[in-house]
Each structure stands twice: as C-alpha cells, then as structure tokens.
Structure 1
Amino acid sequence: MSERILVIKLGALGDMVQAIGPFQAIRAHHLDAHLTLLTTAPFEGLARDLDIFDEIWLDRRPRWWQFGRIAALRNRLLAAGFRRVYDLQTSDRSGFYFRLWPPGGRPEWSGIAAGCSHPHANPDRDSMHTLDRQAEQLELAGIPHVPPPDLRPLRHDIRHFAVGPDAVLLVPGGAAHRPGKRWPAASYAKLARLLAADGLRPVVLGSVAEQKLAHEICADCPAALDLSGQTDLGDIVGLAQAARGAVGNDTGPMHLIAAAGCPSVVLFSAESDPSLCAPRGRKVTVLGRPALSSLEVAEVGMGLDAIKR
C-alpha cells in the first residue's frame, strides 16, 4: 500500500495560487504516495484541475463548540493513516488539527504546531514573503527545491472571448470588505482610455459581484471589453498567457495572472505589505501608496510600459 500524505491549505485565492508550486514540489517528492488535500469549498475546483491530489477533503471549519463535527474530523484523520502532514496553512486552526491526534500516534508534521516533528522554527518566518516561507518550510522537511508553479493544467481555451493579441487585462476589484485596497474605478477608466488610444484592448475582469464596477469603467471607455462575471480561473490563466500585460489591485486573480507569466503591475495600499504577499511572476512591478487614490494614472501607465518592453 502506498504511503498516505496530507497537505493542509484552506485559502484564500492568492494564498492558494502561491501554494501551487509547493503542491507540485510535494507531489514530485512523494511521487507514488496517496496525496490528500484538506481545503475549503471555494478552492475544490482549482485543486481538482491541478491534477496533483488523489483525494480532496473539504474542511467545514467546525467551531469549538461543535463537538460532533470535531469528533467526526478527528475520526477521519486518525482512520486515514497519514504518515506525514504538510501544514501550509500554519494557522491556529491547522495547529488545532495537529492536536486531534494523540501524542503517541501523531504523523510526521511539517509546520509550526508545538511539538511537531519537522518545525519551521525560523523566528523571522512571519517577516518572510509567503513563497520564501513555504520553500524554507519544505526544505526543512526534506524537499530542497520548490519550482515556479506550472499552470498548464489550469489553462482553458479562450478563443471564444476573441480578445485579440493586444489585450491588457484590468482587475479593478478585490475584497468588498476592504475598499481601501482598490484603486478608484475612475482611474481604471482613464487608464483604459489611454490604452485604447495606444491601440491596445482593455479587458476588464471581475466576479459577478464586481460587474457594476466593470460596467462603470466600460461605460467611460467603450473600447474596453467587459468580461466581468464571465471567466473562471482557467479562463483567467488563458487570458493572462495571451495578454500583453495586466494592471490590478492586490487581489487573488492578480496572483494567478502574474504566476501565468503575464507582465503585471500590481497596486498596493497601506492595507497590505507587498514584501510579505506580492504576486510573483516573470515580470511584476509593484506600485504602492498609503492611499491608492493618490496614485496617478500616468505612473501606472509608465509602469506597464516598462514591463511590456
């Protein structure tokens, strides 16, 4: 029987994208193992499309008073017979899951849970970029190399969108509860007009919940193509690999776009620290202001011009 390995990564989207390289490194290291991912429902499809894991478990995030659900999770973990666990979430929740095993029967564990067999004990880990932190954690567990993510399994055919060869992706959305992470829609609209004047095709991406924002930009720039609410993650990868460049806020899709190799300008406010979590890829420029409303369109345009060369 093949050994059983558990990987824990619960979200969010940007974090999941930045874990793809580590996922692939774990699979390469445990080539013949039965690999299980514990994640949350929004990322089940992404995990399946990666074609890395033999099994995907969904974490229902039981609360501390939901004793029945905790007991069911504990029984499932113990019955699975995992030899090793890679905790890439390294949160209080995943640390609690470590304690669901009895002290004498715990699997090998890579993470930060007290008493685990392969601790990431670097006292500066919280000041490291997510990708560097995960790579060091895996190196300490015996996986010496984490490659850049291979997104080919995710890519969808995007010919039906008919975006053309001169597309520039715009990602004006982000977490609704953190509006300070968004560059103003009016600024995106002005940038779209400048791109169109240069013979480029602005293509606005966003979720269904962000369609109003996309409509506002496209109303101000009729040359822009509004794909809000029409793309899934595989479409975004395909569009990114075909586009001339991309501009967007610090949000999950920009991690995917940058990782796909698209020259990207990513905008950061004081609400997040790019040294810890900025998207990485072949050509990525980070522009930041304490308040994004003070970031000039001309500077963003210059940043895009520089990385497209």
Structure 2
Amino acid sequence: MSNILIIKHGSLGDIAQACGAIQDISEHHKDDQIHLLTTKPYYDLFKKNPHISNVILDKRLSKLNLIYLYSLMKSIKRYSFSKVYDLQNSSRTSFYKKILFPSAAKDIWSSTETTLPAGTTKQDFDKDSVLERFDHQLKSSGINTVHTMKPDFKWSSSDITQIKDYYKLDKYIVLFPFCSPHLNSKKWPYYNDLINIINEKFNNMYKVVSAPGPNEIKEASNVNALAILDNGRALDISQLSSLIKGSSFVVANDTGPAHMTSHLGSKGLALFGAHTTAHKVSIERENFKAIQVSELSNLSAEKVFERLSSSIS
C-alpha cells in the first residue's frame, strides 16, 4: 500500500469542480491511502469526502516564512508519497514541487506543467475549460477519467432539518446576489426586481431566500429575500450544500455557490458578464445553465425570470 497525495487549496467553486477528478484518482489507487493537502476553509469539509483517507492542513503562510515552510515540507515528506496529483496548479504548488520532487516527471508529480501537451504553452492550455484541463492531466497520468467531467458534490451535504423547520422552508428559491468586493463586475444588479416578479407571477408559491457568507450578512439586508442563517451565523459549506440541494431553483452570480449548485445536480442559472465564459469555468450541466451577456447591467429581471420559469416546473 502506497501513500498518494492530492493538492487542492481552493476556492469553493474549484473544490466542487475537483470532486470528479479526486474520485477518479481514488478509484485508480483503490489499494492505496489517499491524502489531500488543502487550506483551513475546506479542511473539515474534505474529511467528509468518502474518497479521501486523510486531510493535511496547509496554512499557506508566506513562502518567506522558512520555519513554517520547513515544518510543512517535513510533515509531507514523512508520508513518503509515491505520487502527487497537483490539482491546484498554482505558482505555490509549483514551488512545493521544486522542494519535494525537483526533477520529477508526470509519473511522480502530475500537474499542468508535467502533462502539458507537446507544442502547447501553459497560457494556451489554460484557455481550455477547467474540467477539460483536469481530464487531460489525469489521462496523461494513466487514469481512466470516468467522473472528472461530471463532478458529484452531493457528499458535502449535512442535515439541516432544524434550520429548514425554523424558517419553514418547503418550496423555495435561493438567490446568491453576492460576490467578492474586488469582483463587482460579476454582480448582477436586479435581484430585488427579480424577487418582485417571482412573488407576483408565482403568487408567493415559493419562498425566496438568500444564504449570505460571513462577510455578506449585512449586505443581505439590502436584498428582499429571507436570509438563512444558523443561530445568526453564516451556514457552513455542508449546510449550504444541503440548502441548495433541497431548493426548487437557484439564481446566482458566477461565484462558489453557483458551482456548488451545478455539481449538486440542482436546477438553476448562473449570470455571466464579460469577465469570463460559462464554458471556460465548466459550470453548465443538465439542470444548471448560464446566461451570458456582454454587460450584466443590460440583463433584465424579466429575461432572467423567463429562463427561471421555463426551467423550474
């Protein structure tokens, strides 16, 4: 039995997308121990993943923090990993490779760098969709990719019966009108208009809710939707997963919860401006679609409702 390491630091959307690749790696190494290196926001979450044996915490302190770096590398080396799958493919993980396996090829360290198609630059390769890149990386590493292109995030859910009972949630639509402050280009401005249309057209058949993150609770008061919290605190990822899975529909900006919805198999819509494309971030699925426009401020609430109403039944 060998020890196998997978590296996946984040973000939330990336975590949901990587589930299929992690499952394929685990099934390929079914007689080995699968360890995963991740960051604090996802440490407890990954402990629930049935395809992972052990989770290792990377605090991602500065690379100039030599004491921390030495401690982390020492911790990793003690497992004597026979193979590493770098699903983060960042400058940081490339730096880790230089320390741990400086001259390793794809038979030891699987990454974009070591599996890059001949004659292709990383810049050009990165233009492919996220899941296509994972698929190529794993196939080049000798793995049969059964699940990579269709991640399943359902393992992440937890029991939120008490929360749903408290808010009397039965038939409900979840909105995610938030985004990181430095990514305002992703924010669609007409959620309150959409809420008015939903309530009017559906005659209040659906309760309209939001699920703000820890830094979004104050902002949620500006949205005319019921903010779902757990005793005044933001839902954790597993609770959020369950809230999404039990919903009738989700409308979201291009953020982590949108990717969760996609890979939970739930019905919904993601709203895209010119910042990227739905194809590149691999978000569309059988039940989850995207509306792509050049400018989000030109996308009307009526247009979004039209797509919602045609899909929700």
Q: Please indicate, yes or no, whether the TM-score normalized by the shorter chain is above 0.5.
A: yes
Amino acid at match of 2:159: D
> In structure 2, how many angstroms separate the alpha carbons of the residues matched to 1:226 and 1:149?
28
Q: Which has the higher contact order (CA 8 A, sep 6+)?
A: 2
> In structure 2, how many angstroms separate the alpha carbons of the residues matched to 1:80 and 1:281?
38
The answer to whether the 8 A contact 2:17-2:131 is kept is yes
Amino acid at match of 1:150: D
Amino acid at match of 1:196: N
How far the C-alpha of 1:83 sits from its partner, in A, is 0.5
> 1:164-243 to 2 correspondence within 5 Å?
164-184=169-189, 187-197=190-200, 198=202, 199-218=205-224, 224-228=225-229, 229-243=233-247
In structure 1, the residue corresponding to 2:192 is in which secondary structure?
helix
In structure 2, the residue corresponding to 1:253 is in which secondary structure?
helix
Rate the CA distance shift 1:150–1:271 in 2: closer, same or farther, 3 A: closer
> In structure 1, how many angstroms separate the alpha carbons of the residues matched to 2:169 and 2:77?
52
Rate the CA distance shift 1:211–1:136 in 2: closer, same or farther, 3 A: same
How far the C-alpha of 1:216 sits from its partner, in A, is 1.5
The answer to whether the 8 A contact 2:6-2:84 is kept is yes
The answer to whether the 8 A contact 1:284-1:307 is kept is no
Query: How many residues of Structure 1 are paired with residues of Structure 2 in the alignment?
Result: 297
Identity among equivalent positions (%) equals: 28
The answer to whether the 8 A contact 2:244-2:266 is kept is yes
Rate the CA distance shift 1:269–1:5 in 2: closer, same or farther, 3 A: same
Q: What is the alpha-carbon root mean square deviation over aligned residues?
A: 2.1
How far the C-alpha of 1:100 sits from its partner, in A, is 0.7
Determine if the alignment matches structure 1 residue 141 to structure 2 residue 141. Answer: yes
For normalisation by structure 2, the TM-score amounts to 0.87
> In structure 1, how many angstroms separate the alpha carbons of the residues matched to 2:59 and 2:161?
37
In structure 2, the residue corresponding to 1:72 is in which secondary structure?
helix
Partner of 1:54: 53
The answer to whether the 8 A contact 1:110-1:120 is kept is no
How far the C-alpha of 1:251 sits from its partner, in A, is 0.6
Partner of 1:99: 98
Partner of 1:221: none
Partner of 1:132: 132
Rate the CA distance shift 1:210–1:103 in 2: closer, same or farther, 3 A: closer
Determine if the alignment matches structure 1 residue 19 to structure 2 residue 18. Answer: yes
For normalisation by structure 1, the TM-score amounts to 0.88
Deviates more, 1:103-112 or 1:31-40: 103-112
